[in-house]
Structure 1
Amino acid sequence: MTADPDSGLRARLVDAGVALVTAEGAQALTLREIARRTGVSHGAPRRHFPTHLELLSAIARRGFADLADRVRAVLDDAAPDPRGQVAALARTYLAFALDNAGMYELMFRHDLLESGHLGLRDISLPLFGLLAELCGMVRPEADARRVAGALWANLHGIAQLWRWGSLRLATGADDFAPLLDAALLAHLGPAEAP
């Protein structure tokens, strides 16, 4: 029995897209360029991804999986207290956003998340659920989903404004850590003394 020559093409297309978004950013993700980098005709991706959004969703899904893997790894090594775990998750999120700007931009494109392709919400929402669970442990008196939502919005804003240089200009900071500490204090309250 011979192997189907297209069996690995889907993965190769996504691999090429991941490499392209990493090197050149989300705006470079065209079907034609991904096909060229994969060594296939510009029409070949449509056999596996009928729309451009479906291919972009598959690439973004890899980004969410990578972020989830990083969060799991850092939480395995983080302090066992919920506040320390929220801080570790938040640092990982910001580091990912800043080190993978093109992928981060792609992952949070509203049209991809709303399209429902490849269950992007299904892979992105568990990370938010984890953040909400940890926030609930730190602030049991509050609505954990609201606290987590506000913190996440703050982290997303820090990531975007830091990337654009606006926060560095406004605060004079050369590291996002003090801003992260301020966000954690604002949303979680002061840390308890040991």
Structure 2
Amino acid sequence: MLSTMSTRAESAAATRRALLDAAAELLDLGGPEAVTLREVGARAGVSRGAPYRHFTGKDSLLTVVATEGWQRIGDQVHALRADPALSAAGRLRGALQTLVGVGRSQPHLYQVLFRRRGHRPEELGEGLDRVRRQLCGPADDPAADRVRAAGRFHGEFLAIVAGLVGERNARHYGALLLSSAHGIADMEVSGHLAPEGLGAGADELVDTLVQMIAEAGIGDAAQRQHPSPVHADSTDGGMEDSGGSR
């Protein structure tokens, strides 16, 4: 009996894995519009009904694909943070290059990673997903898993940033860096950084970002160690001098 249950569980896990791999392949080939449960099932070589036994709809399937994407990125950034051979600047450079690299090699996945729900035509089916979830009963929440995976990446990234600018400033500079990296990735994919456009390489821009943050970190550290003196009477004194000259 236990052997039979184990075999069924293994078979279900293998089917789910095949569906996720097929969805990721279709996403890379044609974007979110190319990912339908029918096409995913056909590519995975399973029955038409099999995808619906594992996912409530297209959105939940893409959410799991995005979750696995964030998990891979988080693993890579964690490895960079734990590498003793890298400098603080080297870790930051590697983390930014990892993110920009996903935008370069898997632009459709990159879009799914950063998309906002309800802003794409294909997401109109999310209402049907909710109905299916209500009918099928409670299950793991793919959206919550995605948030946790993205949150882990953010935590690893902010720890790297803190190595340069300190924990107090990590969130501020982290937001600046991620916004800049997102812009670099988008500009590169859209061709705006090509020689006939701005003529700037993505890696070169990442290097500039790292240098700016490293210099900002040094400046902040120096400011904390040697704060500038504050002259409370400087303004009054200037007014008195002015008055005296008259």
For Structure 1 versus Structure 2, the TM-score category normalised by the shorter chain is 0.7 to 0.9
CA drift of 1:118 comes to 4.9
Q: Percent of aligned pairs with the same residue? A: 27
Identify the residue that residue 162 of structure 1 maps to in structure 2: 188
Matches within 5 A, 1:20-59: 20-59=26-65
What amino acid maps onto 1:125 in structure 2? G
The normalised TM-score by structure 1 is 0.83
Matched position secondary structure for 2:69: helix
Identify the residue that residue 172 of structure 1 maps to in structure 2: 199
CA drift of 1:55 comes to 0.9
> What is the number of residues matched between the two proteins?
189
Change (3 A) 1:126 1:155: same
Write the deviation string for residues 103-129 of structure 1: whole angstroms up to 9, x where unpaired: 2122222229xx862511101112111
The reply to whether residue 120 of structure 1 matches residue 126 of structure 2 is no
Write the deviation string for residues 149-177 of structure 1: whole angstroms up to 9, x where unpaired: 1100100110011100012243213x312
Identify the residue that residue 94 of structure 1 maps to in structure 2: 100
Distance 1:96 1:126 in 2: 17
CA drift of 1:77 comes to 4.9
Q: How well do the aligned residues superpose, as a CA RMSD in angstroms?
A: 2.6
Write the deviation string for residues 20-62 of structure 1: whole angstroms up to 9, x where unpaired: 2233333311111101112233332111111322111111122
Say which one has the larger Rg. Answer: 2
- Gaps spanning 5+ residues in structure 2: where? 119-140, 219-246
Change (3 A) 1:141 1:78: closer
The normalised TM-score by structure 2 is 0.67
- Gaps spanning 5+ residues in structure 1: where? none
Identify the residue that residue 157 of structure 2 maps to in structure 1: 131
